[in-house]
């Protein structure tokens, strides 16, 4: 005797695979797959259209694009990315140096130090930092932070002027690389802290309790059980923060004085970045100027792409290592 189980659709259970395919299963699957393919297409299209629209300007360039410091595509048609790329790398690296230790502290505070009842709301407070739009940080930086940094900058310059970063003569303070880097650090802090926090929370409870049971203090427990487990996560969080700092535009566009030189003096008003230059230069750009800005955006795209891919690769490799060690 055959068992004939009826399903809700009225088909028998045996023909389940057949009924699954009917009634729009095909179109739905194609739509889902298609949406994923569209995403891949967009990434490809970004590269293709940035390249194709940059080529005419690059051909009209009378200087060498990678080594020229000058940026004058509208007038003499001489422009190069060197000074801008340098500013992008230096400002984001500084931001990372400032933000990472604080972010790790914040993450540890929320995952292991704060009272459990308060941990959620306090974490939300840090997330709010990420909700503040970048243009507001720019405004805050120009009106509040830049004047605030004047005196400390002069002190650093007088007392630690032998250190290349703090060197410089003449105008000290004002719209400097340091001010921009601090604003960038504030902006990337939430993402670095959020990812680190998640990783720290995932540290095996057994190891933590074992460390405490063996008489470790809280710090020793964190050093032995939490930090080694969280290291790959923190590294990738920092690299994602780096990528974000490099692409950050409006805040630094308001703060950086838009100079075109390579200077390590972070206390003098010499600072610019690829993204800031795009925002500041777009308004007056001629067709060649727009193409030049697109070319610089292409460089930014490639740099951030490499940083992001490296971050993913590091976390993938370290994750296996961490799993093996666990």
Give, as ranges, the residues between 10 and 69 that touch other proteins (CB under 8 A): 11, 13, 16, 19-25, 28-29, 31-40, 42-43, 45-46, 49-50, 52-53
Contact 262, 177 (CB under 8 A): no
Residue closer to other proteins (CB basis): 52 or 159: 52
Phi, psi of 129, deg, nearest 5: -55, -35
Q: Which of residues 240-269 bind other proteins (CB under 8 A)?
A: 240, 243-244, 246-250, 253-254
Contact residue for other proteins among 58, 77, 78, 109 (CB under 8 A): 109
Residue 39 backbone zone (phi > 0: left; psi -120 to 50: alpha; other: beta): alpha
- Of the residues 147, 217, 319, 321, which one makes contact with other proteins according to CB under 8 A: 217
Q: With contact defined as beta carbons under 8 Å apart, do 73 and 291 qualify?
A: yes
By CB under 8 A, what part of segment 80-99 binds other proteins? none
CA 323/CA 27 separation, integer angstroms: 40
Q: Is 136 in the site for other proteins (CB under 8 A)?
A: yes
- Residue with Cβ nearer other proteins (43 or 160): 43
Please give the C-alpha separations between residue 142 and each of 8, 129, 135, 139, 251, in angstroms, as whole numbers: 65, 18, 11, 5, 9
Shortest distance in whole angstroms from residue 213 CB to other proteins: 13
- The number of helices, as runs of H, and strands, as runs of E, in the chain is 13, 2
Q: Does 72 bind other proteins (CB under 8 A)?
A: no
**Which position among 73, 168, 269, 297 is part of the footprint of other proteins (CB under 8 A)?**
297
Torsions phi, psi of 262, nearest 5?
Answer: -100, 110
Residue 210 CB, nearest distance to other proteins (Å)?
A: 17
- The CA distance from 316 to 232, in Å, is 8
Q: Which residues, 167 to 196, sit near other proteins by CB under 8 A?
A: 186, 189, 193
Q: Does 152 bind other proteins (CB under 8 A)?
A: no
């Amino acid at each position: 005797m055959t068992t004939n189980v009826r399903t809700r659709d009225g088909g028998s259970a045996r023909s389940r695979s057949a009924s699954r395919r009917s009634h729009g299963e095909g179109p739905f699957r194609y739509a889902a797959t298609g949406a994923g393919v569209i995403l891949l297409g967009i990434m490809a299209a970004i590269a293709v259209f940035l390249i194709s629209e940059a080529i005419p300007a690059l051909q009209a360039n009378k200087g060498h694009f990678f080594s020229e410091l000058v940026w004058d595509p509208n007038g003499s048609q001489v422009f190069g990315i060197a000074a801008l790329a340098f500013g992008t790398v230096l400002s984001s690296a500084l931001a990372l140096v400032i933000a990472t230790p604080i972010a790790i502290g914040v993450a540890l505070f929320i995952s292991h130090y704060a009272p459990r009842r308060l941990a959620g709301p306090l974490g939300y407070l840090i997330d709010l930092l990420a909700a503040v739009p970048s243009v507001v940080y720019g405004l805050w930086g120009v009106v509040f932070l830049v004047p605030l940094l004047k005196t400390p900058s002069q002190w650093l310059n007088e007392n630690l002027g032998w250190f290349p970063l703090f060197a410089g003569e003449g105008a000290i303070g004002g719209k400097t690389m340091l001010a921009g880097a601090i604003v960038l650090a504030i902006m990337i802090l939430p993402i670095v802290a959020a990812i680190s926090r998640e990783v720290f929370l995932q540290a095996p409870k057994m190891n933590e309790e074992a460390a405490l049971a063996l008489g470790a203090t809280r710090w020793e427990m964190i050093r032995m059980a939490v930090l080694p487990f969280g290291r790959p996560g923190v590294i990738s969080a920092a690299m994602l923060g780096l990528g974000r700092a490099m692409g950050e535009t409006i805040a630094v566009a308001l703060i950086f004085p838009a100079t075109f030189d390579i200077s390590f003096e972070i206390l003098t008003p010499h600072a610019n970045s690829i993204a800031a230059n795009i925002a500041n230069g777009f308004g007056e750009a001629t067709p060649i100027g727009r193409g030049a800005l697109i070319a610089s955006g292409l460089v930014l795209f490639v740099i951030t792409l490499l940083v992001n891919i490296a971050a993913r690769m590091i976390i993938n490799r370290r994750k296996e290592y961490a799993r093996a060690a666990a």
